[in-house]
Structures are given as structure tokens and as C-alpha cells.
Amino acid sequence: MKNLLVASTSTLYGGTYLSYLMEEISIHFKDTNEILFIPYARPGGISHDQYTAIAAEAFSKIGKKIIGLHSFKNPEAAVKSAKGVFVGGGNTFVLVKQLYTFRLMKTLREKILNGLPYLGTSAGSNICGLTMNTTNDMPIVYPPSFKTLGVLPFNINPHYLDPNLTSKHMGETRETRIKEFLMQQSVPVIGIREGSWLQVKNDQIILKGKYSARIFEHLKDPYEVVPDTIIKL
């Protein structure tokens, strides 16, 4: 009984925060006017209050109220009573550490498995997978575990970028790093390009948006799936 939007990013080039996804978000949270926002990932190091204000401004355009989880004395109780949750992007290490610190990983997982409407962008999408091992982020803090919500049967690589064949940059590509991961692990990985997202209804997972996604599986060549494909891994 799952109901998730798992998006690669919150903002597209030339757009505003969540603008490309607002129609889907409005439908997704149609049964509640109040969404609990988890700002722990703190993109660019901004404060919880600053981040919550950004989310609140975006959601006000569809008549929804955002409340930051950091404003509650008992975060676990707030998650248990939530009617909808949005976990924003930023640094996945920081996000996961905070979720474990406040004993929220198990509680949030249970709520999602019981049908809580969940929206994740970037780091908030990373944590939907089995582990956070395929994040793009720097390990600026050390969480007690890399295990995450596990509400999807694979890992996510948001902001997936294709190699730029005209670039003189000689550093690793996203594909290189994911292949390195699969030398050590057998967990499938989906690289979601900016502008696309996964729509999860119960056990059905469908790629939505403008762009195809790249799928990596252990001992297999990477391959593409086009929008509206049902993903079975």
C-alpha cells in the first residue's frame, strides 16, 4: 500500500522550485492540505527555517500548508500523525544521520508502507532505496548506517548525468561510479535524469517525466527505459 513520488530534482534549469512537478504534487496530496516537510538535508547549508520557507512558498501556490519537522518537540510523534510527507534534497549523509538520530527511519518506513503519501526529491529520493550508497554527495557527516527506507527494491542515483563526450574533464562519470558500486554489491540502481520521476502505487513503479532512465544491474550492461515504462527489478 505505497503511494510515492520519487523525483530526481526539485528544480529544473530556467524553472522555480518544484514548478515542473506541481501538477503531479497537487494530485498526489489531494487528500490533505497539510504536509510535513523534513528539511534535514539542508542544501548549501541553509537553515531548517530557510529551507521550510522555500517549500512553503511553493506549496502555497496549490493551496497546501507546509510544516517543518524541526519545529516539533517530538519528531517521531509528528511523523506518526502526518497525512503527507515531503523530504527535500540536499546532503544525503546529513539527512540520514538526522533520521537515525531522531529514530525516524523505521517510523517513516512503516508510515509509507501503510499508504502515507510521500514526496522525495534528490536526497529525499535517495533514501527510498535499499541504501544510500549510490548518492552523489560528499560524506560531510557519518550516519550510523547506510541503510535507508527500503521502500523500493533498488537504489536511486538522482541527478543522473550522461558522459559529456566533448568535455576534457577526466574525472569519473556517474556511470563509472555506479559500475564500481556493482562490483561490490548486487543491488540494482536506477539513474533518474532531472525532469523525470518514479510514480509508485502499491507495488507498481512507473517512470514518469520527460526523459528515459538508465538502469544498472549486477553483471549486466546498463540499459535505458523510456517514460511510462513499468519498472520490474
pLDDT of residue 2: 97
Report domain extents, the chain: 3-225
Give the residue among 70, 60, 72, 1 at the shortest CA–CA distance from 34: 60
Q: Give the C-alpha separation, 205 to 207, whole Å.
A: 7
Residues in the chain: 233
The string of pLDDT tens digits covering residues 53-97 is: 999 999 999 999 999 999 999 999 999 999 999 999 999 999 999
pTM for this entry? 0.96
Query: At CA 188, angle to CA 107 and CA 196, rounded to 5?
Result: 75
Based on the residue annotation, tell me whether 31 is a catalytic residue of this protein: no
Based on the residue annotation, tell me whether 122 is a catalytic residue of this protein: yes
Query: 3-state class of 14 per DSSP?
Result: coil
The catalytically annotated residue of 8, 28, 137, 196 is 137
Q: Give the C-alpha separation, 185 to 204, whole Å.
A: 24
Task: Count Cβ atoms below 10 Å from residue 120 Cβ, excluding itself.
Answer: 28
**Which one of 2.70.50.60, 3.30.70.2700, 3.30.230.10, 3.40.50.880 gives the CATH number of domain 3-225?**
3.40.50.880
pLDDT of residue 113: 98
Q: Could you list the pLDDT tens digit for every one of the 233 residues in the chain?
A: 899 999 999 999 999 999 999 999 999 999 999 999 999 999 999 999 999 999 999 999 999 999 999 999 999 999 999 999 999 999 999 999 999 999 999 999 999 999 999 999 999 999 999 999 999 999 999 999 999 999 999 999 999 999 877 877 767 789 999 999 999 999 999 999 999 999 999 999 999 999 999 999 999 999 999 999 999 99
Q: Give the C-alpha separation, 174 to 190, whole Å.
A: 11
Q: Give the C-alpha separation, 55 to 174, whole Å.
A: 28
Based on the residue annotation, tell me whether 137 is a catalytic residue of this protein: yes
The catalytically annotated residue of 10, 28, 70, 122 is 122
pLDDT of residue 170: 65
